[in-house]
Amino acid sequence: MSMDSQRKLNDMIVCDHVSKTFYTKDTETRVIDELNITAKENEFLVLFGPGQCGKTTVLNVMSGLEPASSGTVTVGGNVVTKPGPDRGFVYQTTALFPWYTVMKNVEYGPRARGMSKKERREKAKYYIDLVGLSGFEDAYPNQLSGGMQQRVGIARAYCNEPAVLFMDEPFGHLDAQTRYLMQEEIIRIWEKEKRTVVFVTNNIEESVYLADRVIVLTNCPTRVKQEFVIDLPRPRNYTDEKFLRLRSEIQSVVDKTL
């Protein structure tokens, strides 16, 4: 097998000259402009950019929640035209069903696909345990803290066993201490249950802490400004000299973008 063939096999997500324009009666707004992004199989890719630059729209187009105006997105070699079970989503707000227990929230996807009760319960229990919520299976979302609710959202996404997991600033609304804890937890879960993760954030430290690779996006209409390979060993240290140097390099690119 040639090197090019091997490389293509390892490409899980490919955005090829993707653009997105929103139209109203009197205006048109171009949010994404000729975006080219590739994510490798099992890579933890972070999309970093200024507020309101179009990061969420990029995720929505990648996942099939929004159609591209031009260009194509492929996941696992298949062109994306709509949402699918091979793509999971963790939102900034947890979007849990408040009338369902933790167990019922997590097993929702497998149940919708017709999986037997015994099998889906075993699967949901595994992911509930994985995210550290053993013993909370019968709790309702309003009985949980923000961090615990986000763990339920992560377990629910993983329980569908998607090839790709999209995360849209999932820790943005958490307090600083809980955010640091959840960053550690998401890496622990990802290392245990590898998936291709595309994670959106506007926090530089979070980018460097989590990513295999950081793609810096421009202001709207967004395109790729620069990418950084984060070759630091895990677990990472926020005060490490190399960590701080990478943070500074990314910050300088962002300053030029704004």
33 is written with which tokens?
């402009």
What is the reported pLDDT for 7? 43
All domains of the chain in start order, with CATH: 3-86+162-257 (3.40.50.300)
Contact 35, 225 (CB under 8 A): no
Q: For residue 200, give both structure tokens.
A: 């959106």
Q: Quote the crossing angle between the two packed helices 146-159 and 176-192, to the nearest 10°.
A: 20
Whether the pLDDT of residue 195 is over 80: the answer is: yes
Higher pLDDT, 256 or 154: 154
pLDDT for 87: 93
Element (H, E) at 72: strand 70-75
pLDDT at 258 over 80: no
Predicted local distance difference test score (pLDDT) of residue 85: 87
- pLDDT of 8 strictly over 70: no
What's the one-letter identity of residue 81? T
Burial label, 62 (beta-carbon count in 10 A; 0-12, 13-18, 19+): buried
Give percent above pLDDT 90 in the chain. 76
Among 53-57, 69-73, 243-247, the least confident range: 53-57
Give me the percent of the chain exceeding a pLDDT of 70: 96
Rounded to the nearest integer, the mean pLDDT of the chain is: 91
